[in-house]
Structure 1
Amino acid sequence: MRRTARLLTGTALAVGAVGLVVTPAHAEGGGLRPVPSSVVPGGQVTVHTTACRDGGAAGDASAVGAGAFTLAPHERETTGRFRVPPSAQPGTYEIVATCAEGGRRVTGDLVVTLTATPGQVHPRGSVKTGVGGALGTDPVQTAAGVAALAIAAAGGTWLLHRRARGDGI
């Protein structure tokens, strides 16, 4: 068991180390960075890249259904904007830009979600199973249920006490 745990831990550390070595090399390549990286349908996205600093670029967001857009030089990078269509389906889409000078092609991923907050969505409310819950929305019904249970408990205790004394039921 320990040998398996050590093997798995060693493998995980090796994979993590390779990921750390590979990530900076990819980041220096001047890829396309959408902000925000996760957006709801109908939301606006700003795209940044350092690959096309000398001139503009032609952007393509047709994978998500937004079509073509223009990137223009801004300070030390090139930026552009587009709006994700309200009909966009959830998923990960590749956004592409082609630099005006040199024709370099850079890409980036955009995630379309149904919720405005990234992360796990927690369900709310009750499940309609027909069984009912312990606490309803009506406080009068809840109080009536508690009273019925208290009366039943008191009656059961009284009957058991009577039977133990020998009075019969």
Structure 2
Amino acid sequence: MRSLRSPRPLTGAALCAAALALAAPAASAGDFGEVEASPQPARAGSSVSLTTRDCGHSRSATVDAGALGGGTATLRPGGDGGALVGEFHVRPDTRPGNYGIAGTCADGKDLTGTVSAGTVGAQGRPMPRGAVRTGVGPTAEGADATEILAGTGLMLAAAAGGTWVLRRRHGGGWSGRRPG
């Protein structure tokens, strides 16, 4: 006699395939243009120039730089090769990191980009990155020889103690047999 299988796995697979097939055209339809920002990284409190060549024949674009405190920047013709250019100011208290910016060309095409914000110290040199030695936790430089030796010693002591306990439970050997 032939057993009947449940149609649920087949139905689920068919529904997944149909959903993927329907989503594929939508995924490729959203071609995004790119907005380039310079300088990279941008300093807190400085100006950032934006450039795009992806607006085709559009004469303007707007870019939202609110994440960096720049509000909305308008890009106008002014670059070589039909590029649209504009600028915004980075808020002075902006924390270092990567920030997404997004905009729209006058013809409706979407634009995206990234602005890296960093901090700059005296004489225009980048501020140092990494951990500060506070006496607690790991640091960017790694452990020194004393810490490595202390950790190794603790590991060996734990291994020796565990071996001693196991040997004692098994009655003097690893075989598990009691002397008799």
Residues 124-163 of structure 1: matches in 2 within 5 Å? none
Q: Which runs of 5+ in 1 are unaligned?
A: 1-28, 130-169
Does residue 112 in structure 1 map to residue 130 in structure 2? no
Q: Which runs of 5+ in 2 are unaligned?
A: 1-31, 136-180
What SS does the corresponding residue of 1:88 show, helix, strand or coil? coil
Equivalences, count: 97
Whether the aligned pair in 2 keeps the contact of 1:93 and 1:110 (CA below 8 Å) is: yes
Partner Cα separation in structure 1 for residue 129 and residue 91 of structure 2: 26
1:39 CA drift (Å): 1.0
Whether the aligned pair in 2 keeps the contact of 1:37 and 1:109 (CA below 8 Å) is: no
Report the residue type matching 1:106 in the other structure. Answer: L
Whether the aligned pair in 2 keeps the contact of 1:53 and 1:73 (CA below 8 Å) is: no
Q: Report runs of 4+ in structure 1 exceeding 6 Å deviation.
A: none
1:81 CA drift (Å): 0.5
Q: TM-score scaled by structure 1? A: 0.50
1:90 CA drift (Å): 1.2
Report the residue type matching 1:104 in the other structure. Answer: K
1:92 CA drift (Å): 0.6
| Worse-matched range after superposition: 29-38 or 53-62 | 29-38
Partner Cα separation in structure 2 for residue 35 and residue 113 of structure 1: 12
Whether the aligned pair in 1 keeps the contact of 2:33 and 2:109 (CA below 8 Å) is: no
Alignment partner, residue 34 of structure 2: 31
* % identity of equivalent residues: 32
Alignment partner, residue 106 of structure 2: 100
What SS does the corresponding residue of 1:121 show, helix, strand or coil? coil
Alignment partner, residue 95 of structure 2: 89
2:128 alignment partner, one of 121, 129, 134: 121
1:89 CA drift (Å): 1.3
1:68 alignment partner, one of 69, 72, 87: 72
Partner Cα separation in structure 1 for residue 54 and residue 102 of structure 2: 12
Report the residue type matching 2:49 in the other structure. Answer: T
Report the residue type matching 1:46 in the other structure. Answer: S
Report the residue type matching 1:47 in the other structure. Answer: L
Q: TM-score scaled by structure 2? A: 0.47
Partner Cα separation in structure 2 for residue 66 and residue 36 of structure 1: 15
1:30 CA drift (Å): 4.2
Tell me the alpha carbon deviations over residues 1-20 of structure 1, each in whole angstroms, 9 at most, x when there is no partner.
Answer: xxxxxxxxxxxxxxxxxxxx
Alignment partner, residue 44 of structure 1: 47
How large is the Cα RMSD of the aligned pairs?
A: 2.8
Report the residue type matching 1:41 in the other structure. Answer: A
Whether the aligned pair in 2 keeps the contact of 1:72 and 1:78 (CA below 8 Å) is: yes
Partner Cα separation in structure 2 for residue 51 and residue 67 of structure 1: 21
Tell me the alpha carbon deviations over residues 88-126 of structure 1, each in whole angstroms, 9 at most, x when there is no partner.
Answer: 11111011121011x1111111111112545x8379xxx
Change (3 A) 1:113 1:57: same
